[in-house]
Structure 1
Amino acid sequence: MEFLRPATWAEALAMKAERPDARPIAGGTDVMVELNFDRTRPPALLDLTAIPELATWNTDIVPGWIRIGAGMTYTRIIEELGGMFPGLAIAARTVGSPQIRNRGTIGGNLGSASPAGDLLPVLLANRGAEVWVESVRKKAGPYPVYDFFTGPKRNLLAPDELIREVRMRVTHGPEQFAKIGTRNAMVIAVCSFALTLDPGEREVGTGIGSAGPTPLLAFDAGEYLAGELDWEGAGPLDDRVARRFGELVAAAANPIDDVRGTAEYRRHALSVMARRTLGWAWADYRKGAAECA
């Protein structure tokens, strides 16, 4: 197995163009497990850890948006971006152990394209988040995150393309994430759910994990809730609205029975998580409205 270690992004793109069969590696939290269990044996590994700009973030690309380099680790997302994207930080905290969070990256989560990827429902819930990819033959450009996943562990990346960054809208609204597993920590999600309330646009973003062949939007649930919430008065949450929201989230899932849980359980759990995350997020919204008043 050949080991390639570019020092710049241009070098990385050139190496990927020459060796489209090279497997990108950053944190290695997925790739090294597959190698250790002999599940995969790529002809080459393309180590992206020496490229500085992949491990940076900034807000000066487009007003109201933030750019997050593909090499940003879960730990740095928690520490540096939790104020702007609390849902992303909550999800990152559920990933593995501290050692895994210190190594794993947002780009790796996207590249692996697992339906159970913990950050992916949060990116879906951001409503408009983009995955920016690039190659030697094609200038950097975006894929909407809701189009990026094509099947279990499959995405739209061409063999010569690499993920450069993620771009997300800053909504200044409450965000939540919930995950159910067979234990409390260091576990693959049986199912997960992310919620974003955007007061400026009066929109609701949703994301479902580990309950379909890809991470899923619960579009109808978000549209329903956006029309029912008391954005102006910030009154108490109607229990009828919360229950209907949970039902619509469960209906958006496409789960299967497997060793971690049944399809029926996943739908039930998503309904419960949707109601709970909505309750937490709406409480945050009402608190913010009261402080502003």
Structure 2
Amino acid sequence: MNRTIMLPTSLDEAVETLATSPTAVPVAGGTDLMEAVNAGRLRPAALLGLGRITELRGWRYEDGGTAVLGAGLTLARMDRPDFAALIPALADAARTAGPPQTRNVGTLGGNIASAAASGDTLPVLAALEAVVTLARAGATREVPVGHLLTGVDPMRPGELLTWVRVPLLHAPQVFLKATGRSGPSRAIASVALVLDPARRAVRCAVGAVAPVPLRPLDAEAWVAGCIDWDARGEEGAQSIDPAAAAAFGEYVATACVPDGYGALGHELDAGAALAVEGPTAAAVRLRRTVAVLARRALGRALK
């Protein structure tokens, strides 16, 4: 099948091109796109290559304590020390997202647009309450990542994901994930947790256990009330009773993993075990995994 490939060299040109060809599929690293094409799940008639748009491959600070990340920022670039010092949980997620050849070309925008259940950066962005900028000819709009992923406010034809705005909390944040094998592989479950001392709040998002990252809001509010926010002042982490930390893990797991786990259709390494154990046993095992991840993430954030 012949495909039209368009290669704009600027963001304005890309937006204008997409306006005239709204069915064209934007592609940067192409890691998820090519997998879908090779598997026969996607047959795009036209591709909009974004690799020549240098302005989308970097990041910058913005007044008000925000980092503006280009959609073309690679996972490998997010793993560098300067970026890791800025948003450590996102750097940790990028570091575990796959083998070097994937991280070298895979992009933040591609991770969001693909919206795979096991996308490692997605729970971090959800926990940080990041916002994406969507551009189209003559207009832009901003949408919370959570709204975009859940379909509350989806991308519209002719729109291009350009920037990701992440609040800089200057507070502890952690990303942990469990896989079914050693080395880089897809998550069975992942947890992103950030502290927000200024608001005396905890934000948590669980990835890979559902089609989109889940925010256990009741668990967040409950554990925030268990933390002694004044123990070390406004600079950060505080103390908590170990029993409360363990209860938090169970609270998160119960909220995010239903008894009917297995009907969700995930492509997980645990799939074979699910067929043997049945959905109830698989849910218990996954719930235990999520509980451990959440408890450990909270513990590391409070150190």
TM-score scaled by length of structure 1: 0.90
Task: Confirm or deny: 8 A CA contact 1:116 1:215 kept in the other structure.
Answer: no
Separation in 1, partners of 2:223, 2:211? 25
**Are 2:254 and 1:251 aligned?**
yes
Q: Which residue of 2 aligns with 1:225?
A: 223
Segments of 5+ residues of structure 1 without an aligned counterpart are 284-293
Moved over 4 A (4+): none
Separation in 2, partners of 1:184, 1:203? 34
Separation in 2, partners of 1:123, 1:219? 15
**Alignment RMSD, CA only?**
1.7
Task: Confirm or deny: 8 A CA contact 2:227 2:239 kept in the other structure.
Answer: no
**Are 2:29 and 1:27 aligned?**
yes
Per-residue deviation, residues 50-91 of structure 1 (Å, max 9, x unmatched):
11211121113x321110010001111111310011111111
Task: Confirm or deny: 8 A CA contact 2:5 2:48 kept in the other structure.
Answer: yes
Separation in 1, partners of 2:106, 2:153? 19
Separation in 1, partners of 2:92, 2:86? 12
Q: CA deviation at 1:42?
A: 0.4
Separation in 1, partners of 2:50, 2:42? 19
Task: Confirm or deny: 8 A CA contact 2:88 2:173 kept in the other structure.
Answer: yes
Q: Which residue of 2 aligns with 1:100?
A: 102
Which amino acid counterpart does residue 269 of structure 2 have in structure 1? R
Per-residue deviation, residues 88-116 of structure 1 (Å, max 9, x unmatched):
11111101111111111110000001121
Secondary structure of 2:199's aligned partner: coil
Q: Which residue of 2 aligns with 1:68?
A: 69
Q: CA deviation at 1:254?
A: 4.4
Equivalence map 1:38-53=2 (5 Å): 38-53=40-55
Separation in 2, partners of 1:26, 1:185? 25
Which amino acid counterpart does residue 98 of structure 2 have in structure 1? G
Which amino acid counterpart does residue 140 of structure 2 have in structure 1? A
Q: Which residue of 2 aligns with 1:275?
A: 295
TM-score scaled by length of structure 2: 0.87
Task: Confirm or deny: 8 A CA contact 1:213 1:254 kept in the other structure.
Answer: no
Task: Confirm or deny: 8 A CA contact 1:54 1:71 kept in the other structure.
Answer: yes
Per-residue deviation, residues 176-230 of structure 1 (Å, max 9, x unmatched):
1111111132311111110001222221111110111211112111111111111
Segments of 5+ residues of structure 2 without an aligned counterpart are 233-237, 271-281
Separation in 1, partners of 2:220, 2:59? 29
Identical-pair percentage: 40
Q: CA deviation at 1:155?
A: 7.2
Which amino acid counterpart does residue 247 of structure 1 have in structure 2? E
Equivalence map 1:164-179=2 (5 Å): 164-179=162-177
Secondary structure of 1:200's aligned partner: helix
**Are 2:61 and 1:59 aligned?**
yes
Which amino acid counterpart does residue 270 of structure 1 have in structure 2? V
Separation in 2, partners of 1:14, 1:165? 17
Task: Confirm or deny: 8 A CA contact 2:226 2:240 kept in the other structure.
Answer: no
Q: CA deviation at 1:149?
A: 1.1
Task: Confirm or deny: 8 A CA contact 2:135 2:159 kept in the other structure.
Answer: yes
Separation in 2, partners of 1:140, 1:264? 44
